[in-house]
Amino acid sequence: MATSRFTDQDGRLDELYGDVAAADLQPLWKLSGLLTPEPVPRTVPYRWRAEALSTLAARSGELVGIDRGGDRRVLACANPGLGGAPYATSTMWAGMQYLGAGERAPAHRHTPAALRFVLAGEGAWTLVDGDPLPMATGDLVLTPSMTFHEHHNPGAEPMMWLDVLDLPVVAALDAVFFEEGADTQGGPRSDPDSAAERLWGAGPGLVPGGLGKARHEAAHSPLLVYRRAGTDKALAAQLAATGGTEAQIRYTNPQTGADVMPTMRCEMRRVRAGSRSRTTRQTGSRVGAVLAGAGEVLIGDQRFALAPGDVFAVPSWAPYGLAAEEHLDVFSVSDAPVLEALGLYREREC
């Protein structure tokens, strides 16, 4: 029905809009783009080449020291869609961290949860709440929310790894807290593994019984490191068992089967040489990194060539798929646990 008693000719309307703005109010009927039929992410499909990441990180290592103040020598992947924010996607920080031979990054803790994935190299170790975690190619290391962590590289070679944090989520919720910690004296460690692995990584489906309650109730996985040998074996066995062209595993909390941390889901996907993966879309964004192989990634309507060490960003609801020229192993992190917890997770085959 026409609402003809309202006319734009009415001069009082301009006055109303002026007064509305002056009162820090906005009329919904003048706003658009709020309730879109589908997600309209600002994050754009993007790929950072390994070559640029590693050469610029190494140059930073020559010119920039690690001291209190800087603390971490990290080049943050800045998605060009995010207006200059140092975030890979709207919900995830991803950065290449470089630690020179003999260097140490001092202890601290914070509410944003972090993980490290080693794309190449070994020799450094991260100390998480006192537990030393040696890091090597293909390993996933967790530093959950509010755990003290420091990085040491007692070796003769520099080392680099990919950091992923839920910082944009925690920052959006205005829940960022940070504290410095007391440094542990560094030095070469002889431990080949961590206490977390000895206790929680003994064997598939086997978890310790009779431990204190606190340990079971932590919001994150008590297993703080997931080794390449384990994921490699699982992927190979899955491919053999299914006879398919791709395999996928999720890193889980051995105690609960939940994601390793409350805000981030970690996965590894393997696509056989000459094959294409399924293409899917899901709500929430993803950061991917190529551990091995060569091929192409489809993100939205764009294709990017992939080589080992490349990092890429998948916006929410963008079709995502992999094509392998050579047997491709891609590690990725998504914010899926957050969307699931809020009842906002959707997934669809494209």
Residues at the contact surface with ligand GTQ, assessed by CB under 6 A? 72, 74, 95, 97, 114, 149, 163, 165
- Nearest approach, Cβ of residue 300 and ligand GTQ (Å): 26
- Considering beta carbons, is residue 74 or 323 the nearer one to ligand GTQ? 74
- Nearest approach, Cβ of residue 205 and ligand GTQ (Å): 32
Q: DSSP per residue over 60-120, as a string?
A: HHHH----TTT---EEE---GGGTT-S-SSSS-EEEEEEE-TT-EEEEEEESS-EEEE-SS
- Nearest approach, Cβ of residue 116 and ligand GTQ (Å): 7
Alpha-carbon distance of 334 to 338, in angstroms, equals: 9
- Considering beta carbons, is residue 98 or 320 the nearer one to ligand GTQ? 98
SS (H, E, C) 163-176: EEECHHHHHHCCCC
- Considering beta carbons, is residue 108 or 303 the nearer one to ligand GTQ? 108
- Nearest approach, Cβ of residue 125 and ligand GTQ (Å): 13
- Considering beta carbons, is residue 74 or 306 the nearer one to ligand GTQ? 74
Q: DSSP per residue over 195-208, as a string?
A: HHHHHH-SBTTB--
Alpha-carbon distance of 313 to 78, in angstroms, equals: 10
- Considering beta carbons, is residue 168 or 201 the nearer one to ligand GTQ? 168
- Whole-Å CA distances, 300 to 64, 154, 282: 37, 42, 12
Q: Which two tokens stand for residue 78?
A: 């800045």
Q: Are strands 93-99 and 74-76 parallel, antiparallel or unpaired?
A: antiparallel
Give me the helices (H) in the chain, please: 12-22, 50-63, 167-172, 195-200, 213-217, 228-242, 336-341
- Considering beta carbons, is residue 38 or 179 the nearer one to ligand GTQ? 179
- Nearest approach, Cβ of residue 188 and ligand GTQ (Å): 20
Alpha-carbon distance of 97 to 57, in angstroms, equals: 7
- Considering beta carbons, is residue 163 or 259 the nearer one to ligand GTQ? 163
- Nearest approach, Cβ of residue 203 and ligand GTQ (Å): 30
- Considering beta carbons, is residue 135 or 324 the nearer one to ligand GTQ? 135
Alpha-carbon distance of 333 to 341, in angstroms, equals: 16
DSSP letter at 308?
A: T
- Nearest approach, Cβ of residue 32 and ligand GTQ (Å): 36
Alpha-carbon distance of 125 to 188, in angstroms, equals: 9
Alpha-carbon distance of 83 to 183, in angstroms, equals: 36
Alpha-carbon distance of 283 to 126, in angstroms, equals: 32
Alpha-carbon distance of 339 to 263, in angstroms, equals: 9
Residue number with the smallest Cβ distance to ligand GTQ: 163
- Considering beta carbons, is residue 146 or 199 the nearer one to ligand GTQ? 146
3-state secondary structure at position 21: helix
- Nearest approach, Cβ of residue 12 and ligand GTQ (Å): 54
Q: Return all residues near 152 (Cβ < 8 A) that are at least 6 apart.
A: 99, 103, 104, 105, 124, 125, 126, 127, 186, 187, 189
- Nearest approach, Cβ of residue 145 and ligand GTQ (Å): 12
